């Protein structure tokens, strides 16, 4: 079973939150924490990792906070996974059969491709979802 860690899930939620304010003022960590229901101390640790990976930038001071360095259309879910967990690799897939080796290699590649969705695509999906809710009321 492929398991997505809390770090990846919360990190993606934080990036998604920042992406909704892309090109705006920095967003304070408290705001992200409240918007995405992420414990603030845990989020602080995640933001350091995102900063080290070149995804976000921080600003100090009363009006400080975080912004995305990259355009949301250039950030993929896989990049967030790489930031927190490293490359997706299936474990214990060694075998003598070339057919099975090829199967596992293809499976790993397919999983990576699935996570190539961009943050911008997720934002557009949310907008479509919110529009459906508004029309059905």
Outline where the chain has alpha helix (H).
Answer: 6-19, 29-36, 40-52, 77-85, 98-114, 119-136
Q: Model-level pTM?
A: 0.86
Closest C-alpha among 88, 25, 81, 37 to residue 55 = 81
CA distance 33 to 84: 18
- pLDDT, tens digit only, all 137 positions of the chain: 567 899 999 999 999 999 999 988 999 999 999 999 999 999 999 999 999 999 999 999 888 899 999 999 999 999 999 999 988 877 666 778 888 888 888 988 898 899 999 999 999 998 888 887 665 55
């Amino acid at each position: 079973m492929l398991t997505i860690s809390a770090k990846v899930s919360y990190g993606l939620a934080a990036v998604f939150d920042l992406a909704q304010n892309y090109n705006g003022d920095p967003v304070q960590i408290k705001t992200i924490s409240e918007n995405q229901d992420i414990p603030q101390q845990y989020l602080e640790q995640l933001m350091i990792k995102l900063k080290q990976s070149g995804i976000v930038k921080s600003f100090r001071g009363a009006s400080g906070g975080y912004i995305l360095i990259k355009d949301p259309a250039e950030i993929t879910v896989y990049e967030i996974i790489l930031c927190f967990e490293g490359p997706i690799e299936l474990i214990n897939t060694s075998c003598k059969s070339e057919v099975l080796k090829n199967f596992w290699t293809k499976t790993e590649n397919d999983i990576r491709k699935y996570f190539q969705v961009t943050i911008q695509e997720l934002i557009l999906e949310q907008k479509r979802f919110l529009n459906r809710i508004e029309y059905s009321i």
